[in-house]
Structure 1
Amino acid sequence: MAALTFLFVVSLLCALTLWKRLTSKSKIPKGLKPLPGPKGYPVVGSVPDVPEKNSFVKFAEWGKEFGPIYNTNLAGSNHVWILSDDIARDLLAKKGAIYSDRPHIPALISDNRTSAQYLPLLSKNDGWTRQRKFANVIMRESENALFHRYPETEAKRMLVELLDDPSRYNHALESFISRVTCRLAWGHSEASDELKQRARELLIGVSPTGALGNKLPFLMSLPDWLVPAKAWERRRAATERKFFEIMQGEVESDLKEKKAPKSWMRTFLENRSKFGFQYELEGAYAVGMHGIAGALTIAAPMQTFCLAMCHYPQYLPMLHEELDRVCGDRLPRAEDRPNLPFLRAIIRECLRWRPPVPTGIPHYLTQDDEYNGYFIPKGTTMHPLEWAIARDPQLFPDPEAFNPLRWVQPEYPTYKEPLTQYPTIINITQFGYGRRVCQGMTVADEDLLIGIGSIAWLFNIDRLPGDVSTPPTEPAVVTDPEVVENLTLGLNEKASLSSEELNAGMEEPKSPTKEDILISKYSYPGTYPASAVKKTETPKPVEEKKVVKIDPTLDFTTLLIAKPLPFQFSLTPRNTERAQKARTVFQEGVERGDYKGSREFWGADQGKNSPLGWGKV
Structure 2
Amino acid sequence: MALTNLLIILSVLCVLTLWKRLTRKDKIPRGLKKLPGPKGYPILGSVPDVPEKNSWMKFAEWGKEYGPIYQCNLAGTNHVWICEDHIARDLLSKKGAIYSDRPHIPALIDDNRDSGKYLPLMTKNELWTRQRKFANHIMKSSENVKFNNYPELESIRMCSELMEDPSNYNHHLESYIARVTSRLAWGHSEASDELKQRARELLIGVSPTGSLLNKLPFLMKLPDWLSPAKAWERKRMRTEQRFFEIMQGQVRADIARTPGKFSWMQMFLESKDHFNFAHSLEGAFAVGMHGIAGALTIAAPMQTFCLAMCHYPQYLDMLHEELDRVCGDRMPTNEDKPNLPVLRAIIKECIRWRPAVPTGIPHYLVQDDVYEGYHIPAGSVIHPLEWSISREEAIYPEPELFNPMRYLDPKYPTFKGPLTQFPSIIGMSQFGYGRRTCQGMTVTESDLIAGIGSIAWLFDIRKNARPKSMRKIMMNEKATISMEELVTGLSEHSSDSEEDDEEHVRDVIGAFPPPTAEERRESFWKQQLEIQEKQQQRKKQELNPTMDFSTLLIAKPLPFKFELTVRDQSRRALVETLFGEKKAEGEFVDARVYWGEKSTQPSSFGWVKV
Give TM class, smaller chain. Answer: 0.7 to 0.9
CA distance in 2, matches of 1:553, 1:314: 17
Q: Does 2:88 align with 1:91? A: no
1:18 deviates by 3.1
Q: Does 2:575 align with 1:574? A: no
Q: Tell me, yes or no, if the aligned pair for 1:607 and 1:614 is still in contact at 8 Å.
A: no
Q: Tell me, yes or no, if the aligned pair for 1:138 and 1:267 is still in contact at 8 Å.
A: yes
CA distance in 1, matches of 2:7, 2:80: 32
**Residue matched to 2:586:** 593
1:609 deviates by 10
**Residue matched to 1:46:** 46
Q: Sequence identity of aligned pairs in percent?
A: 67
* Equivalent residues in 2 for 1:113-512, closer than 5 Å: 113-466=113-466
Aligned mate of 1:562, from 555, 558, 573: 555
1:259 deviates by 3.6
Secondary structure at the counterpart of residue 603 of structure 1:
coil
Structure with the higher helix share, 1 or 2: 2
Q: Tell me, yes or no, if the aligned pair for 1:239 and 1:613 is still in contact at 8 Å.
A: yes
1:23 deviates by 4.5
Secondary structure at the counterpart of residue 277 of structure 1:
coil
1:334 deviates by 1.4
**Residue matched to 2:604:** 611
Matched length: 548
1:467 deviates by 6.5
**Residue matched to 2:494:** none
1:610 deviates by 2.5
Q: Name the CA shift for 1:231/1:330 in 2 (closer, same or farther; >3 Å).
A: same
For structure 2, the residue ranges without an aligned partner over 5 or more in a row are: 469-528
CA distance in 2, matches of 1:46, 1:431: 28
CA distance in 1, matches of 2:467, 2:560: 11
Q: Tell me, yes or no, if the aligned pair for 2:594 and 2:601 is still in contact at 8 Å.
A: no
Larger Rg over CA atoms = 2
Letter in 1 for 2:398: D
CA distance in 1, matches of 2:127, 2:25: 30
1:23-61 Cα deviation digits (max 9, x unpaired): 555511000111000010000000000000100000000
Aligned mate of 2:595, from 588, 592, 602: 602
Secondary structure at the counterpart of residue 79 of structure 1:
strand
Secondary structure at the counterpart of residue 204 of structure 2:
helix
CA distance in 1, matches of 2:265, 2:602: 31
Letter in 2 for 1:553: T
Letter in 2 for 1:592: E
Q: Name the CA shift for 1:350/1:259 in 2 (closer, same or farther; >3 Å).
A: same
TM-score (norm. length: structure 2): 0.88
Q: Name the CA shift for 1:29/1:300 in 2 (closer, same or farther; >3 Å).
A: same
Letter in 2 for 1:585: L
Q: Tell me, yes or no, if the aligned pair for 2:207 and 2:553 is still in contact at 8 Å.
A: yes
CA distance in 1, matches of 2:90, 2:562: 43
Letter in 2 for 1:109: I
Q: Does 2:528 align with 1:550? A: no
CA distance in 2, matches of 1:148, 1:562: 29
Secondary structure at the counterpart of residue 235 of structure 1:
helix
1:3 deviates by 2.3
Q: Name the CA shift for 1:397/1:607 in 2 (closer, same or farther; >3 Å).
A: farther
Secondary structure at the counterpart of residue 271 of structure 1:
helix
1:14 deviates by 2.1
Letter in 1 for 2:130: R
1:248 deviates by 0.2
Q: Tell me, yes or no, if the aligned pair for 1:69 and 1:80 is still in contact at 8 Å.
A: yes
CA distance in 2, matches of 1:18, 1:271: 52
CA distance in 1, matches of 2:72, 2:304: 30
Letter in 2 for 1:179: R
Q: Tell me, yes or no, if the aligned pair for 1:606 and 1:613 is still in contact at 8 Å.
A: no
CA distance in 1, matches of 2:467, 2:108: 42
**Residue matched to 2:485:** none
Letter in 1 for 2:264: W
For structure 1, the residue ranges without an aligned partner over 5 or more in a row are: 469-539
CA distance in 1, matches of 2:371, 2:169: 46
CA distance in 2, matches of 1:15, 1:354: 42
* Equivalent residues in 2 for 1:517-556, closer than 5 Å: 544=533, 546-547=536-537, 548=540, 549-556=542-549
1:146 deviates by 0.4
Q: Name the CA shift for 1:330/1:193 in 2 (closer, same or farther; >3 Å).
A: same
Secondary structure at the counterpart of residue 358 of structure 2:
coil
1:586 deviates by 1.3
Q: Name the CA shift for 1:24/1:133 in 2 (closer, same or farther; >3 Å).
A: farther
CA distance in 1, matches of 2:42, 2:328: 64
CA distance in 2, matches of 1:604, 1:392: 54
Secondary structure at the counterpart of residue 466 of structure 1:
coil
Secondary structure at the counterpart of residue 546 of structure 2:
helix
Letter in 1 for 2:545: P
1:595 deviates by 1.4
CA distance in 2, matches of 1:421, 1:467: 44
* Equivalent residues in 2 for 1:74-89, closer than 5 Å: 74-89=74-89
Letter in 1 for 2:556: K
TM-score (norm. length: structure 1): 0.87
1:260 deviates by 1.1
Letter in 2 for 1:610: S
CA distance in 1, matches of 2:281, 2:227: 28
Q: Tell me, yes or no, if the aligned pair for 1:607 and 1:613 is still in contact at 8 Å.
A: no
CA distance in 2, matches of 1:211, 1:300: 21
1:13 deviates by 1.3
